[in-house]
Copies of this chain bind each other. A is one copy, B any other.
Amino acid sequence: MEKKKRKRLDEKGWKVRSVSEFLGLSEDEERVVELRIALSDALKKQRLNAKLTQEGFARMLNSSQSRVAKMEAGDPSVTFDLLIRSLFRAGIDRRKLSKIIAA
């Protein structure tokens, strides 16, 4: 957030919180959420790069359109297992996965 804006809000009595502060997440939970989002984004990029619809992508993953939508949305009902298996299936190898996580 821009510094000036933060100052303005602060002066008005707003407490500026990060998403994690707002949701009351622990450090670990925060890391989990952020990592999930990183993998979600990577998965969506892979799909778009392959010019597939969620429907077509789902077939390739033996899953469903709705689940792909949830994966890409970082829905909490989606596990790392599903994301990682999907990334592998979508052609991401371990080295690439490593880079995604580092970023």
Contact = CB atoms under 8 A, between A and B. Distances in A.
B84 A35 contact: yes
A79 B84 CA distance: 11
A91 to B, nearest CB: 10
A88 B80 CA distance: 14
B101 A35 contact: no
> How many copies, total?
2
Contacts of A80: 79-81, 84
Main secondary structure of the interface of A (DSSP, over half): helix
A31 B88 contact: yes
Interface string A67-102: 000000000000111001100110001110111011
Contact of A79 (B81, B88, B98): B81
